[in-house]
Amino acid sequence: MLTPFVCVAQWQEQTAGIMGTNIRAEVFHIDPDLRQKALDQVMIEMEHINQLMSPYIQSSELSQLNLRASNAPMEVSDEMFKVLSLSRELSELTNGAFDITFASVGYLYDYREKKRPNDESIDALIEAIDYRHIVLDDASQSVYFAHPDVKIDLGGIAKGYAVDNAIRALKAMGIEHALVSAGGDTRLLGDRMGKPWIVGIRDPRDANKQAVVIPLEDSAMSTSGDYERYFEEDGQRYHHILSPKTGRSSYEVQSVSIIGPESVYNDALSTAVFVMGLENGIGLINSLPEFEAIVMDNHRRMHYSNGLGR
Ligand code: ADP
Ligand code: MG
Protein backbone atom coordinates (compact mmCIF):
# COMPACT_ATOMS: atom_id res chain seq x y z
CA MET A 1 0.00 0.00 0.00
CA LEU A 2 1.29 3.46 -0.88
CA THR A 3 1.23 5.91 1.99
CA PRO A 4 2.43 9.51 1.80
CA PHE A 5 5.35 8.49 3.99
CA VAL A 6 6.52 5.95 1.40
CA CYS A 7 6.19 8.63 -1.31
CA VAL A 8 8.55 10.93 0.57
CA ALA A 9 11.07 8.10 0.95
CA GLN A 10 11.22 7.79 -2.83
CA TRP A 11 12.90 11.18 -3.08
CA GLN A 12 16.61 11.47 -2.64
CA GLU A 13 18.87 14.51 -2.59
CA GLN A 14 22.60 15.07 -3.00
CA THR A 15 24.76 18.19 -2.90
CA ALA A 16 28.36 18.89 -3.85
CA GLY A 17 30.74 21.79 -4.46
CA ILE A 18 31.81 21.72 -8.12
CA MET A 19 32.58 24.46 -10.67
CA GLY A 20 33.05 26.92 -7.84
CA THR A 21 29.42 26.63 -6.86
CA ASN A 22 26.83 24.54 -5.03
CA ILE A 23 25.41 21.65 -7.01
CA ARG A 24 22.12 20.20 -5.84
CA ALA A 25 20.18 17.31 -7.30
CA GLU A 26 16.90 15.77 -6.17
CA VAL A 27 15.45 12.72 -7.90
CA PHE A 28 12.31 10.65 -7.56
CA HIS A 29 12.24 6.91 -8.30
CA ILE A 30 11.00 3.79 -6.53
CA ASP A 31 14.33 1.99 -7.02
CA PRO A 32 16.87 3.20 -4.44
CA ASP A 33 19.84 1.86 -6.45
CA LEU A 34 18.75 3.75 -9.52
CA ARG A 35 18.21 6.90 -7.43
CA GLN A 36 21.75 6.74 -6.12
CA LYS A 37 23.17 6.00 -9.59
CA ALA A 38 21.22 8.94 -11.00
CA LEU A 39 22.54 11.34 -8.33
CA ASP A 40 26.10 10.10 -8.88
CA GLN A 41 25.68 10.63 -12.64
CA VAL A 42 24.63 14.26 -12.09
CA MET A 43 27.87 14.91 -10.19
CA ILE A 44 29.92 13.08 -12.87
CA GLU A 45 28.40 15.32 -15.57
CA MET A 46 29.23 18.44 -13.53
CA GLU A 47 32.81 17.34 -12.88
CA HIS A 48 33.26 16.50 -16.57
CA ILE A 49 32.35 20.04 -17.64
CA ASN A 50 34.47 21.45 -14.82
CA GLN A 51 37.54 19.59 -16.14
CA LEU A 52 36.91 20.90 -19.66
CA MET A 53 35.86 24.46 -18.97
CA SER A 54 37.36 25.64 -15.67
CA PRO A 55 39.71 28.62 -15.89
CA TYR A 56 41.32 27.43 -12.64
CA ILE A 57 42.48 24.07 -14.00
CA GLN A 58 45.66 24.45 -16.06
CA SER A 59 44.98 21.36 -18.14
CA SER A 60 41.38 22.32 -18.99
CA GLU A 61 40.59 22.85 -22.64
CA LEU A 62 39.58 26.40 -21.78
CA SER A 63 42.97 27.18 -20.19
CA GLN A 64 44.72 25.63 -23.19
CA LEU A 65 42.70 27.78 -25.57
CA ASN A 66 43.65 30.89 -23.63
CA LEU A 67 47.31 29.86 -23.81
CA ARG A 68 47.46 28.79 -27.44
CA ALA A 69 44.53 29.80 -29.64
CA SER A 70 45.89 33.24 -30.51
CA ASN A 71 49.03 31.59 -31.95
CA ALA A 72 47.39 28.97 -34.12
CA PRO A 73 44.01 27.24 -34.52
CA MET A 74 43.43 24.58 -31.88
CA GLU A 75 41.21 21.55 -32.31
CA VAL A 76 38.71 21.14 -29.49
CA SER A 77 36.24 18.55 -28.15
CA ASP A 78 32.68 18.31 -29.45
CA GLU A 79 31.40 19.82 -26.22
CA MET A 80 33.75 22.80 -26.26
CA PHE A 81 32.93 23.46 -29.91
CA LYS A 82 29.23 23.29 -29.13
CA VAL A 83 29.47 25.71 -26.20
CA LEU A 84 31.58 28.13 -28.24
CA SER A 85 29.08 27.97 -31.11
CA LEU A 86 26.19 28.57 -28.69
CA SER A 87 28.12 31.48 -27.15
CA ARG A 88 28.50 33.09 -30.56
CA GLU A 89 24.79 32.59 -31.23
CA LEU A 90 24.00 34.29 -27.91
CA SER A 91 26.39 37.17 -28.64
CA GLU A 92 24.66 37.81 -31.95
CA LEU A 93 21.21 37.56 -30.35
CA THR A 94 22.10 39.99 -27.54
CA ASN A 95 23.99 42.47 -29.68
CA GLY A 96 27.24 41.65 -27.89
CA ALA A 97 25.95 41.97 -24.30
CA PHE A 98 26.83 38.31 -23.80
CA ASP A 99 30.44 37.97 -24.88
CA ILE A 100 32.83 35.33 -23.55
CA THR A 101 35.82 37.48 -24.61
CA PHE A 102 34.87 39.82 -21.73
CA ALA A 103 37.62 37.79 -20.02
CA SER A 104 40.31 39.61 -22.03
CA VAL A 105 39.83 42.32 -19.39
CA GLY A 106 37.91 40.18 -16.88
CA TYR A 107 40.91 38.07 -15.97
CA LEU A 108 42.45 41.14 -14.31
CA TYR A 109 39.73 41.16 -11.65
CA ASP A 110 40.12 39.06 -8.55
CA TYR A 111 37.04 39.51 -6.40
CA ARG A 112 38.39 37.52 -3.48
CA GLU A 113 41.62 39.53 -3.40
CA LYS A 114 39.69 42.77 -4.05
CA LYS A 115 41.79 43.38 -7.15
CA ARG A 116 40.68 45.30 -10.21
CA PRO A 117 42.48 46.68 -13.26
CA ASN A 118 43.32 50.37 -13.49
CA ASP A 119 42.03 52.53 -16.35
CA GLU A 120 45.21 52.15 -18.43
CA SER A 121 45.10 48.35 -18.29
CA ILE A 122 41.44 48.36 -19.31
CA ASP A 123 42.12 50.77 -22.19
CA ALA A 124 45.01 48.62 -23.39
CA LEU A 125 42.89 45.47 -23.57
CA ILE A 126 39.38 46.67 -24.37
CA GLU A 127 39.77 46.00 -28.11
CA ALA A 128 40.38 42.35 -27.37
CA ILE A 129 36.76 42.13 -26.14
CA ASP A 130 34.81 41.20 -29.25
CA TYR A 131 33.28 37.79 -29.92
CA ARG A 132 34.05 38.24 -33.61
CA HIS A 133 37.72 37.65 -32.78
CA ILE A 134 36.83 34.00 -32.14
CA VAL A 135 37.10 32.10 -35.42
CA LEU A 136 35.30 28.76 -35.37
CA ASP A 137 36.02 26.33 -38.17
CA ASP A 138 33.30 23.69 -38.42
CA ALA A 139 35.21 21.42 -40.79
CA SER A 140 38.23 20.96 -38.52
CA GLN A 141 36.34 21.76 -35.27
CA SER A 142 39.08 24.19 -34.42
CA VAL A 143 39.21 27.54 -32.68
CA TYR A 144 41.41 30.52 -33.45
CA PHE A 145 41.62 33.89 -31.67
CA ALA A 146 42.21 36.57 -34.30
CA HIS A 147 43.61 39.06 -31.78
CA PRO A 148 46.71 38.47 -29.65
CA ASP A 149 45.13 39.55 -26.33
CA VAL A 150 41.88 37.56 -26.47
CA LYS A 151 40.97 35.46 -23.44
CA ILE A 152 37.68 33.67 -22.96
CA ASP A 153 35.70 32.55 -19.91
CA LEU A 154 32.58 30.39 -19.90
CA GLY A 155 31.34 31.32 -16.41
CA GLY A 156 28.15 32.77 -17.92
CA ILE A 157 27.12 29.63 -19.83
CA ALA A 158 28.99 26.49 -18.68
CA LYS A 159 26.87 25.86 -15.59
CA GLY A 160 23.66 26.02 -17.61
CA TYR A 161 25.17 23.69 -20.19
CA ALA A 162 26.22 21.23 -17.47
CA VAL A 163 22.73 21.31 -15.90
CA ASP A 164 21.19 20.42 -19.28
CA ASN A 165 23.66 17.55 -19.69
CA ALA A 166 22.74 16.25 -16.24
CA ILE A 167 19.00 16.42 -16.99
CA ARG A 168 19.57 14.58 -20.28
CA ALA A 169 21.46 11.85 -18.43
CA LEU A 170 18.66 11.53 -15.85
CA LYS A 171 16.03 11.19 -18.57
CA ALA A 172 18.12 8.49 -20.29
CA MET A 173 18.13 6.55 -16.99
CA GLY A 174 14.36 6.63 -16.79
CA ILE A 175 14.02 9.41 -14.20
CA GLU A 176 10.87 11.49 -14.74
CA HIS A 177 10.89 13.82 -11.72
CA ALA A 178 14.03 15.68 -10.72
CA LEU A 179 15.67 18.97 -9.89
CA VAL A 180 19.23 19.86 -10.83
CA SER A 181 20.79 23.16 -9.86
CA ALA A 182 24.26 24.64 -10.16
CA GLY A 183 24.43 27.95 -8.31
CA GLY A 184 21.81 30.17 -9.92
CA ASP A 185 20.91 27.74 -12.70
CA THR A 186 18.02 25.38 -11.98
CA ARG A 187 16.20 22.90 -14.22
CA LEU A 188 13.21 20.75 -13.34
CA LEU A 189 12.09 17.48 -14.78
CA GLY A 190 8.36 16.90 -14.34
CA ASP A 191 6.66 18.08 -11.17
CA ARG A 192 7.08 17.38 -7.47
CA MET A 193 4.44 14.97 -6.17
CA GLY A 194 1.70 16.34 -8.39
CA LYS A 195 2.55 19.95 -7.61
CA PRO A 196 4.92 22.41 -9.28
CA TRP A 197 8.40 22.89 -7.93
CA ILE A 198 8.89 26.17 -6.11
CA VAL A 199 12.04 27.99 -7.18
CA GLY A 200 13.17 31.07 -5.32
CA ILE A 201 14.86 34.25 -6.44
CA ARG A 202 16.87 35.62 -3.56
CA ASP A 203 16.85 39.19 -2.42
CA PRO A 204 20.00 40.70 -3.96
CA ARG A 205 20.75 42.55 -0.69
CA ASP A 206 19.80 39.84 1.82
CA ALA A 207 21.06 36.29 1.37
CA ASN A 208 18.46 34.99 3.83
CA LYS A 209 15.43 36.45 2.06
CA GLN A 210 13.58 35.41 -1.08
CA ALA A 211 12.48 38.28 -3.30
CA VAL A 212 10.03 36.10 -5.22
CA VAL A 213 9.14 32.41 -5.48
CA ILE A 214 8.04 30.93 -8.79
CA PRO A 215 6.12 27.68 -9.33
CA LEU A 216 7.65 25.72 -12.23
CA GLU A 217 7.46 22.28 -13.78
CA ASP A 218 9.31 20.79 -16.75
CA SER A 219 11.05 24.11 -17.11
CA ALA A 220 14.17 25.95 -16.01
CA MET A 221 15.22 29.25 -14.48
CA SER A 222 18.57 31.01 -14.16
CA THR A 223 19.38 34.04 -12.05
CA SER A 224 22.26 36.49 -12.42
CA GLY A 225 22.97 38.98 -9.66
CA ASP A 226 25.53 41.51 -8.59
CA TYR A 227 25.93 39.71 -5.25
CA GLU A 228 27.49 36.40 -6.29
CA ARG A 229 31.09 37.61 -6.53
CA TYR A 230 32.01 41.17 -5.64
CA PHE A 231 33.93 43.47 -3.38
CA GLU A 232 33.34 47.03 -2.30
CA GLU A 233 35.75 49.93 -2.46
CA ASP A 234 34.89 53.54 -1.60
CA GLY A 235 31.21 52.69 -1.60
CA GLN A 236 31.37 51.23 -5.11
CA ARG A 237 30.48 47.58 -5.76
CA TYR A 238 32.84 45.81 -8.14
CA HIS A 239 31.11 42.62 -9.25
CA HIS A 240 31.52 39.80 -11.72
CA ILE A 241 29.15 40.72 -14.55
CA LEU A 242 31.04 43.00 -16.89
CA SER A 243 29.84 45.15 -19.74
CA PRO A 244 31.83 44.05 -22.82
CA LYS A 245 31.74 47.69 -24.00
CA THR A 246 33.52 49.09 -20.94
CA GLY A 247 35.31 46.16 -19.31
CA ARG A 248 33.71 47.31 -16.05
CA SER A 249 30.88 45.99 -13.86
CA SER A 250 27.42 46.64 -15.19
CA TYR A 251 25.24 48.79 -12.94
CA GLU A 252 21.95 48.70 -14.85
CA VAL A 253 20.06 46.37 -12.47
CA GLN A 254 20.57 44.18 -9.38
CA SER A 255 19.18 40.84 -10.45
CA VAL A 256 17.80 39.11 -13.55
CA SER A 257 16.03 35.77 -13.75
CA ILE A 258 15.19 34.08 -17.03
CA ILE A 259 12.64 31.28 -17.35
CA GLY A 260 12.84 29.05 -20.42
CA PRO A 261 13.00 25.41 -21.45
CA GLU A 262 16.78 24.90 -21.31
CA SER A 263 19.34 26.08 -18.78
CA VAL A 264 22.08 26.85 -21.27
CA TYR A 265 20.06 29.66 -22.87
CA ASN A 266 18.65 30.86 -19.55
CA ASP A 267 22.15 31.09 -18.11
CA ALA A 268 23.57 33.18 -20.95
CA LEU A 269 20.43 35.29 -21.32
CA SER A 270 20.31 36.16 -17.62
CA THR A 271 23.87 37.49 -17.86
CA ALA A 272 23.06 39.31 -21.12
CA VAL A 273 19.86 40.95 -19.84
CA PHE A 274 21.77 42.03 -16.73
CA VAL A 275 24.20 43.89 -19.01
CA MET A 276 21.49 45.20 -21.37
CA GLY A 277 19.46 46.70 -18.53
CA LEU A 278 15.74 46.91 -17.90
CA GLU A 279 14.28 48.27 -21.13
CA ASN A 280 16.51 46.65 -23.72
CA GLY A 281 16.74 43.45 -21.74
CA ILE A 282 13.01 42.93 -21.16
CA GLY A 283 12.44 44.10 -24.75
CA LEU A 284 14.67 41.29 -26.01
CA ILE A 285 12.93 38.68 -23.83
CA ASN A 286 9.49 39.88 -24.98
CA SER A 287 10.62 39.21 -28.55
CA LEU A 288 11.53 35.58 -27.70
CA PRO A 289 8.33 33.53 -27.25
CA GLU A 290 9.94 30.73 -25.21
CA PHE A 291 11.45 32.97 -22.54
CA GLU A 292 10.27 35.12 -19.64
CA ALA A 293 12.21 37.54 -17.45
CA ILE A 294 11.99 38.87 -13.90
CA VAL A 295 14.22 41.87 -13.26
CA MET A 296 14.94 43.73 -10.03
CA ASP A 297 16.04 47.27 -10.84
CA ASN A 298 18.35 49.52 -8.85
CA HIS A 299 15.43 50.84 -6.81
CA ARG A 300 14.54 47.25 -5.84
CA ARG A 301 11.41 47.32 -7.98
CA MET A 302 10.45 44.09 -9.75
CA HIS A 303 9.66 44.01 -13.47
CA TYR A 304 8.14 41.15 -15.44
CA SER A 305 8.11 40.23 -19.13
CA ASN A 306 4.74 40.20 -20.93
CA GLY A 307 4.12 36.44 -20.63
CA LEU A 308 4.12 36.59 -16.82
CA GLY A 309 0.94 38.62 -17.08
CA ARG A 310 1.52 41.52 -14.70
P1 ADP B 1 26.77 33.08 -11.74
O2 ADP B 1 28.08 32.62 -12.31
O3 ADP B 1 26.91 33.80 -10.47
O4 ADP B 1 25.71 32.05 -11.75
P5 ADP B 1 26.00 34.42 -14.17
O6 ADP B 1 25.31 33.30 -14.81
O7 ADP B 1 25.40 35.74 -14.32
O8 ADP B 1 26.22 34.22 -12.65
O9 ADP B 1 27.43 34.46 -14.77
C10 ADP B 1 28.35 35.40 -14.37
C11 ADP B 1 29.65 34.97 -14.94
O12 ADP B 1 29.61 35.17 -16.36
C13 ADP B 1 30.82 35.79 -14.47
O14 ADP B 1 31.36 35.27 -13.30
C15 ADP B 1 31.75 35.67 -15.65
O16 ADP B 1 32.44 34.43 -15.60
C17 ADP B 1 30.82 35.62 -16.84
N18 ADP B 1 30.54 36.94 -17.46
C19 ADP B 1 30.60 38.18 -16.89
N20 ADP B 1 30.25 39.13 -17.75
C21 ADP B 1 29.94 38.49 -18.92
C22 ADP B 1 29.49 38.93 -20.20
N23 ADP B 1 29.26 40.23 -20.47
N24 ADP B 1 29.30 37.99 -21.15
C25 ADP B 1 29.52 36.67 -20.91
N26 ADP B 1 29.92 36.20 -19.73
C27 ADP B 1 30.12 37.09 -18.73
MG1 MG C 1 24.20 33.54 -16.51
Q: What is the pLDDT of residue 196?
A: 97
Q: How many domains does the chain have?
A: 3
**Residue 258 pLDDT level (bands cut at 50, 70, 90):** very high
If asked whether residues 178 and 280 sit together in one domain, one would say no
**Residue 8 pLDDT level (bands cut at 50, 70, 90):** low
In a domain, 206, yes or no: yes
In a domain, 63, yes or no: no
250 lines ligand 1 (CB under 6 A): no
84 lines ligand 1 (CB under 6 A): no
187 CA → ligand 1 middle, Å: 18
pLDDT of 2 strictly over 80: no
If asked whether residues 274 and 162 sit together in one domain, one would say no
In a domain, 73, yes or no: yes
Q: What is the pLDDT of residue 310?
A: 59
In a domain, 64, yes or no: no
If asked whether residues 81 and 205 sit together in one domain, one would say no
153 lines ligand 1 (CB under 6 A): yes
pLDDT of 128 strictly over 80: yes
The whole-angstrom separation of Cα 298 and Cα 7 is 43
The whole-angstrom separation of Cα 213 and Cα 198 is 6
Domain of residue 268 covers 196-310
If asked whether residues 177 and 43 sit together in one domain, one would say yes
Q: Looking at residues 43-51, what average pLDDT do you find?
A: 98
Q: Looking at residues 4-29, what average pLDDT do you find?
A: 87
CATH assignment of the domain containing 122:
1.10.3980.10
Domain termination site, one of 189, 212, 242: 189
265 lines ligand 1 (CB under 6 A): no
> Which residues, at least 6 apart from 23, have a Cβ–Cβ distance to it below 8 Å?
15, 16, 17, 42, 43, 46, 180, 181, 182
Average pLDDT taken over every residue of the chain = 96
If asked whether residues 47 and 174 sit together in one domain, one would say yes
31 CA → ligand 1 middle, Å: 38
Domain termination site, one of 165, 189, 213: 189
Q: Looking at residues 26-48, what average pLDDT do you find?
A: 98
166 CA → ligand 1 middle, Å: 20
If asked whether residues 293 and 217 sit together in one domain, one would say yes
CATH assignment of the domain containing 204:
3.10.520.10
Checking DSSP bridges between strand 134-137 and strand 142-145, what pairing results, if any? antiparallel
For ligand 1, atom 6, the nearest C-alpha belongs to 156
If asked whether residues 204 and 248 sit together in one domain, one would say yes
Whole-prediction pTM: 0.96
